[in-house]
Amino acid sequence: MKYIELKNLKKDYKTGNNVFSALKDVNLTLNKGTFTIIKGASGSGKSTLLNLVSGIDTPTSGEIIINGTAIQKLNGEQLAKWRGAEIGIVFQFFQLMPTLTVLENVILPMEFVKKMPRSQHKERAMILLNKLNIAALANKYPHTLSGGEKQRVAIARALANEPNLLIADEPTGNLDSANKAIIHETFKQLNLDGKTILYVTHEQEFPDTYTQVVNIADGILTNIVKKEMEVQHV
């Protein structure tokens, strides 16, 4: 079942009189429930691709259809609503609210999106924290946590509004090996639970339960490697 469709996607950046093409005519289709790794070197265009899919950035041309919604047609406010309902984003640098506790960081998106009654927010947040094995940290502030713990809080926050799609931008880029393993395990589990995952990395190590690895270089998708299948050239 098609979940994400990228059609002839282009993204150009202007710097002075120069135009830099970050993405060049990208076409990609991802099914629901898949775990896609987008892999590429620094400056390859992987983060640009992720920003376009998450509606953080707008394409120069082309279409992005996610779950039937052409998101390039949405305005800023519609995008914010759509993001709240459809996706959860995990950043490399965690980006937690420093003056909110772990529990409050997870509750905050629920209050913005209002998908569920306020009375259920705490319960839902605790379920997520339990699932990620950080319930004991619920009342702690971000600055007291380790990197791995912070990233798990960020994942819990991304899951707060039960999104269909989880987007992770170098989620282990700032972690040591032990914490990397924990985060990999977390993503594995989330995919097994049915979440569609788009996982951007430049590292060689990533969760081994992926569906496919999309390689990107100089704004072009070079190939798609499906797990235990042959390389598909694009």
Rounded-to-integer distance, Cα 81 and Cα 161, Å: 11
Q: How far is the CB of 33 from other proteins (least distance, A)?
A: 22
Identify the CA nearest to 153 among candidates 171, 132, 167. 132
Distance of CA 14 to CAs 22, 115, 188, 221, Å? 10, 39, 38, 22
Q: Which is nearer to other proteins, 161 or 212 (CB)?
A: 161
Q: Is-contact 187 200, C-beta < 8 A?
A: no
Dihedral pair phi/psi, residue 95, rounded to 5°:
50, 55
Q: How far is the CB of 231 from other proteins (least distance, A)?
A: 32
Report the 10 Å Cβ neighbour count for 87. 22
Q: How far is the CB of 9 from other proteins (least distance, A)?
A: 16
Q: How far is the CB of 62 from other proteins (least distance, A)?
A: 17
Q: Which residues bind other proteins (CB under 8 A)?
A: 51, 54, 56-57, 76-77, 80-81, 83-85, 88-89, 91, 95, 97-100, 104, 107-109, 111-113, 118, 157-158, 160-161
Q: Which is nearer to other proteins, 141 or 209 (CB)?
A: 141
Report the 10 Å Cβ neighbour count for 18. 7
Q: Which is nearer to other proteins, 20 or 234 (CB)?
A: 20
Q: Which is nearer to other proteins, 6 or 156 (CB)?
A: 156
Q: Which is nearer to other proteins, 22 or 134 (CB)?
A: 22
Element at 46 (helix H, strand E): helix 46-53
Q: Which is nearer to other proteins, 81 or 227 (CB)?
A: 81
Secondary structure E strands in 40-164: 61-66, 69-70, 87-90
Q: How far is the CB of 85 from other proteins (least distance, A)?
A: 7
Rounded-to-integer distance, Cα 43 and Cα 63, Å: 22
Rounded-to-integer distance, Cα 28 and Cα 176, Å: 32
Q: How far is the CB of 108 from other proteins (least distance, A)?
A: 5
Q: Which is nearer to other proteins, 142 or 148 (CB)?
A: 142
Q: How far is the CB of 82 from other proteins (least distance, A)?
A: 8
First to last CA, the chain: 20
